[in-house]
Amino acid sequence: MEILSVASEVFPLIKTGGLADVAGALPLALKPHGIRMRTLLPGYPIVLQKIGKATRIGGFDNLFGHPASILAVDHHGLDILVLDAPALFDRDGGPYVDKAGLDYPDNFRRFAALSLAAAEIAGGLLPDWTPDLVHVHDWQAALTPVYMRFGPASGMPTVLTIHNIAFQGQFGPTVFPELALPPEAFTVDYVEYYGDVGFLKGGLQAATAITTVSPSYAQEILTPEFGMGLEGLLAARLSGLKGIVNGIDADIWDPRTDPNIAAPYSADKMKRRAENKLALSKRFGFDAAPGPIFSVVSRLTWQKGMDVLAEAIDDIVENGGKLAVLGSGDPVLENAFLSAAARHPGRVGIVVGYDEPLSHLLQAGSDAILIPSRFEPCGLTQLYGLRYGCVPVVARTGGLADTIIDANEAALAARVATGFQFSPVTADGLRLALRRVFALYKEPKAWARLQAQGMKSDVSWDKSAERYAALYSGLLVKG
């Protein structure tokens, strides 16, 4: 089976969040199922630099006013197609925002171009390859199924995966004439969305099947609280909606071989984990007092409940804990953590920014990772935590609820607990959970069992890749 995957970020070429991890890991996980997945992404400068020499296998004389090429390359086992369109992607800032952190004003055009290029590939642009099915991710690729409906690949099945319904790619109606879509696409059946143009909305209407990244989130987005305005549309498409939980790349995230950590360890050789805790303490300037280190690796945003955590920091310190934060985002929240670090020297530290190697050391060296998200489609950091014996403390929502087994008395007695869940997502809710964490941490045997149980959890892609493979096969049979 030949599949074209389309995403705006793909690890290890470009990553700003979990989408990249998934888009980079799924193709490898599908290989044993006889599926060849080629992944199209934009040719940002860093991507072109990382791929090095690539072959031009097709192109456009005029893609939204400019020439563009499709480059092909094998990058560490990933079959990569790059849309090299310098007028759209050769920019100084990040993939979506400029150096000042502002959205590029032509984002609608940049990601419409990605989607149109994908639809053209599906329609036979490349002389030697057409896919059997197209799988697109998030709003940046969501117009692909819409373009396909109006082009030569109109009969080809498509899958749209929602990684976060909060990001919808909504633009004013004036962009519509620039999208090279026929007038009938500006209707409620396609991209028209309360008078605006909705990229995700159009994709949800046009895709053959819709998935999201956990079964609980698939249910939640049917409600007004989590659906962010799209709950009605999703309810109408219920038979085509499925939740498939993310896995993790077990080679990149392996404490036995991870080059980013201070000392390797495994479930049966946990002693050396302490060296990582020491290295982490040094990196964050922590004092030598005993007690658990809590970590955060996250965008610092309201979605991630970081304001709630900021309120509970003093309690962590009063109970003898420490907090190491890696992240960036909302300046108000960055400042809240910076001032907590100033208030509690040796106990609270924050690295503002994005640091992939440090994110590994945090999983290997801290005792527990805090994920107090208000909503979480899947979440990956709790899965990394499980694999690294870093106990996840999570809000009971979305994929967090699906992947962590709360250490309540019954689960502890049955030896199936893997972390802590709490709700509601308030400072008091979190404080109650922290109280349970501190109590269990004081029982080294019980704590070690919790870590061991987590490390035994299957966080690989195996089962989920099977589910995607079954979904694709079903669509192809129907098609």
Ligand X SMILES: Nc1ncnc2c1ncn2[C@@H]1O[C@H](COP(=O)(O)OP(=O)(O)O[C@H]2O[C@H](CO)[C@@H](O)[C@H](O)[C@H]2O)[C@@H](O)[C@H]1O
Query: What are the residues whose beta carbons fall under 8 Å from the beta carbon of 309, sequence distance 6 or more?
Result: 296, 370, 372, 430
Describe the crossing of helices 444-456 and 427-441 by its angle, rounded to 10 degrees.
110
Of the candidate spans 15-23, 59-67, 121-129, 201-209, the one that interacts with ligand X by CB under 6 A turns out to be: 15-23
Residue with tokens 């998934």: 22
Min dist CB 11 to ligand X, Å, is: 8
Length of the chain (residues): 479
Contact with ligand X (CB under 6 A) among 39, 107, 281, 298? 298
What are phi and psi for residue 268, nearest 5 degrees?
-95, 0
**Structure tokens, 12:** 């290890």
Residue 15 annotated as part of some ligand binding site: yes
Q: Does 25 bind ligand X (CB under 6 A)?
A: no
Applying CB under 6 A, the span of 122-130, 196-204, 321-329, 438-446 interacting with ligand X comes to 321-329
Question: What is the total count of residues that contact ligand X (CB under 6 A)?
Answer: 26
Taking the least distance from each CB to ligand X, the nearer of 305 and 327 is 327
**Is 69 among the residues that bind ligand X (CB under 6 A)?**
no
Could you tell me which residues are beta bridge partners of residue 395?
422
Least Cβ distance, residue 395 to ligand X (angstroms)? 12
List the one residue from 4, 19, 121, 136 that touches ligand X (CB under 6 A). 19
Q: By CB under 6 A, is residue 22 in contact with ligand X? A: yes
Give, in order, the Cα–Cα distances in Å from 111 to each of 213, 384, 405: 22, 30, 38
Q: Are 38 and 79 in contact (CB under 8 A)?
A: yes
Residues from 87 through 106 that contact ligand X (CB under 6 A): none
CB atoms under 10 Å from CB of 236, counted, come to 12
> Cα separation of 38 and 389, whole Å?
34
What would the two tokens of residue 393 be? 């403390």
What is the contact mask toward ligand X in residues 246 to 285, using x (rule: CB under 6 A)?
Answer: x---------------------------------------
State which H helix or E strand residue 147 sits in: helix 144-149
Query: For ligand X, which residue of 9, 13, 21, 71 counts as binding (CB under 6 A)?
Result: 21
- 336 vs 440, beta carbon nearer ligand X: 336
Rounded distance, CA 162 to CA 469, Å?
17
Q: Which of 35, 68, 114, 380 binds ligand X (CB under 6 A)?
A: 380
Restricting to residues 411-450, which ones interact with ligand X according to CB under 6 A?
none
17 lies in the site for ligand X, by CB under 6 A: yes
Residue 280 CA to its chain's centroid (Å): 25
Residues 6+ apart with CB under 8 A from 124: 130, 152, 153
In the stretch 158-187, what mask flags binding to ligand X with x, by CB under 6 A? -----xx-----------------------
Binding-site positions for ADP-alpha-D-glucose: 15
Residues near ligand X (CB under 6 A): 17-19, 21-22, 163-164, 213, 246, 297-299, 326-328, 354-356, 359, 376-381, 399
Annotated binding-site residue numbers: 15
